[in-house]
Amino acid sequence: MKIARINMGAEGGPKVSEEPLGAYEGSGGRALTSAIVSKEVPPLCHPLGEDNKLIIAPGLLTGTSAAMSGRVSVGCKSPLTGGIKEANAGGQPSQMLARLGYAAIVLEGKPKDDTLYKVFISKDGIKIIPDNSLKMLGNYDLVEKMKKEYGEKIGCISIGQAGEMKMAGASVAFTDMELRPTRHAGRGGVGAVMGAKGVKVIVVDDNGMKMRNPKDPSKFGEANKRFVEGLKKHPVTGEGLPAYGTNVLTNVINESGAYPTKNFMWGRFPNCQKISGETQAETEKARGGLATHGCHRGCTIQCSGIYMDKDGHYLTKQPEYETVWALGGNCEIDDLDAIAMLDRLCDDYGLDTIEMGATIGVAMEGRLAKFGDAPAAINLVKEVGKGTPLGRILGNGAAVTGKVLGVERVPVVKGQALPAYDPRGIQGIGVTYATSPMGGDHTAGYAVTANVLKVGGYVDPLKPEGQVELSRNLQIATAAVDSTGMCLFIAFALLDQPETFQALLDLLNTFYGGNLTADDVTQLGKTILKNEREFNSKAGFTAEHDRLPDFFQKEPLPPHNLTFQVKGQDLDTLFNW
């Protein structure tokens, strides 16, 4: 496997060079993006400047026949948080890049002028082509144009208008199996960094390439079989997620009293049934969409789906739980069609749905629109796409919007919006939000497992005891899983079924011919977190940044009427291992 570096600021125009992994040998996904950022990006550089790098890295098992292995990591210094960032996505391009032999594509430097480029990667190498006709296209129109030019067997990695305008809420889109730009590395403004590099789209064509070959094909195949059986037999990965997608959580989290409603004012949304996963699945089926669908080939859990409008025409992929919450309950919007339209607009402009939903919630609290007003929310997102002055404020996220509108209750950590679980009702996730090097991020250490779902044990969600240890263990495990290219949802089965965790180890060992143990995996997770923490510390982050906003300590959240209980001094022990 090799690294391709594309220097967008080279004399005489962008230049490509390829090199072996070298010092990064044995790394993939998040381990690789975070290692490159820590080693090569000056922590104090401007995120939109020439010294920042955007790294797109498939995982260790991506491009193989292992189930669930098509995820991709996108890393850089974040324009939203000012710290290190890894944002993760599904879609097809990751598998294609890996089959072409790329462990990472690194965009470096800064173009000399405002020419916009497309990059074409195939078995014949990498071409960089100026193409100003792509300027300010939405992701959907852009992909259609690429299909006409390069055919239907490609994958696209792209930015919409938000990335071109270098907004801190901008995402990088990856096309799905239907060649639609629906899978996003959403968090932290990674799309703004791609925009700053002057790259609109990377078109990947793996025609003529084969699956990556394991060292021991028969044992690898046998481990994959055990791995898939393990996923099928666990109730979350075998039943809940396939039937209703992640939105199965709306009723569950609402019932637990931790569903952040009306910009984190209440822990229950009275109308949640109208936007639940159950209602969503019924609607999708009734309109000829799909309630069970994968975001890439080889996904056996299939938590995604396809959402049609009232007339039975494709509108968007199935909006997932965090999107439905952000653009729904958080804004008191209870209309699934409006939420689906907001999701479609975010995908087209290339925006993080969590950041945008939290931003609209803050804007509603700042009286820019009324809570529950779906048409107003749609108009606000359209402002972002048009790049009006108001749109540019909103597109830079909840923290900027809160400042501009004089709103005190702004749910962010390290400048990044908190997702769909209130830390006063699920205290363990609050520890992750506060301490993750990524800023407010549920996936970094998903304590909802033991706090609510009773997966991997049980820790009372309303008490501070045990939450730091829970979040620590999950953050370590997550960093490691994010490096394999595996979808994080396999973790439900890994946490409860030692034999499924063993099957994952066997996949890695039979592919690479190594002898990884569970301890090695833990060590890998710790090393990644250490790299990330060190980068953030050099970028100016201190213990004060590992805290939730004030109002979580002061305002009790109904129905449990609790504040966030975990003390600062305990949060500061999270990385002591």
Q: Smallest distance, Å, CB 174 to ligand SF4? A: 11
The smaller minimum CB distance to ligand SF4, of residues 291 and 487, is found at 487
Tell me: does residue 295 bind ligand SF4 (CB under 6 A).
Answer: yes
For Cα atoms 406, 407, 408, give the angle at the middle one, nearest 5 degrees: 115
Are the beta carbons of 60 and 28 closer than 8 angstroms?
yes
The smaller minimum CB distance to ligand SF4, of residues 91 and 385, is found at 91
Residues between 301 and 330 that touch ligand SF4 (CB under 6 A): 301-304
Residue in this structure with the two tokens 């801190």, named with its chain if needed: 168
Tell me: does residue 116 bind ligand SF4 (CB under 6 A).
Answer: no
CA 525 to chain centre: 18
3-state secondary structure of 107: strand
> d(Cα 488, Cα 508) in Å, to the nearest integer?
16
Residue in this structure with the two tokens 């007339």, named with its chain if needed: 311
Q: Smallest distance, Å, CB 295 to ligand SF4? A: 3
Tell me which stretch binds ligand SF4 (CB under 6 A): 74-82, 185-193, 296-304, 560-568. 296-304
Strand partners of residue 314: 308
Tell me which stretch binds ligand SF4 (CB under 6 A): 38-46, 163-171, 293-301, 363-371. 293-301
* Sheet architecture: strand order including 155-158: 125-130, 117-122, 199-204, 155-158, 172-174, 183-185
The smaller minimum CB distance to ligand SF4, of residues 53 and 317, is found at 317
| Residues 6+ positions from 61 with CB-CB distance below 8 Å | 28, 69, 484, 485, 486, 507, 508, 511
Residues between 56 and 75 that touch ligand SF4 (CB under 6 A): 68
Q: Smallest distance, Å, CB 148 to ligand SF4? A: 27
Q: What beta strand segments (E) does 175-278 contain? A: 183-185, 199-204
Q: Smallest distance, Å, CB 544 to ligand SF4? A: 34
Q: Which of 227, 269, 489, 552 binds ligand SF4 (CB under 6 A)?
A: 489
The smaller minimum CB distance to ligand SF4, of residues 246 and 261, is found at 246
- The helix (H) or strand (E) run that includes residue 285 is helix 277-286
Q: Which two tokens stand for residue 226?
A: 């055990």
Residues between 90 and 109 that touch ligand SF4 (CB under 6 A): 90
Tell me which stretch binds ligand SF4 (CB under 6 A): 143-151, 300-308, 330-338, 369-377. 300-308
Tell me: does residue 294 bind ligand SF4 (CB under 6 A).
Answer: yes
Q: Smallest distance, Å, CB 40 to ligand SF4? A: 29
Task: Give the residue from 329, 330, 356, 332 showing the smallest Cα distance to 342.
Answer: 356
Tell me which stretch binds ligand SF4 (CB under 6 A): 297-305, 348-356, 371-379, 436-444. 297-305
The smaller minimum CB distance to ligand SF4, of residues 269 and 307, is found at 307
Are the beta carbons of 334 and 275 closer than 8 angstroms?
yes
Q: What are phi and psi of 157, to 5 degrees?
A: -120, 115
- Sign of torsion, CA 23 221 213 18? negative
The smaller minimum CB distance to ligand SF4, of residues 53 and 184, is found at 184
430-469 footprint of ligand SF4 as x/- string (CB under 6 A): ----------------------------------------
The smaller minimum CB distance to ligand SF4, of residues 181 and 294, is found at 294
Tell me which stretch binds ligand SF4 (CB under 6 A): 118-126, 130-138, 292-300, 365-373. 292-300
Residues between 356 and 415 that touch ligand SF4 (CB under 6 A): none
Kindly report the length of the chain: 577
* DSSP letters spanning 469-522: HHHHHHHHHHHHHHHHT--GGGHHHHHH-HHHHHHHHHHHHHHHT----HHHHH
Strands 172-174 and 304-308: unpaired
4-43 footprint of ligand SF4 as x/- string (CB under 6 A): ----------------------------------------
Tell me which stretch binds ligand SF4 (CB under 6 A): 48-56, 299-307, 388-396, 408-416. 299-307
The contact set with ligand SF4 (CB under 6 A) reads 68, 90, 294-296, 299, 301-304, 487, 489
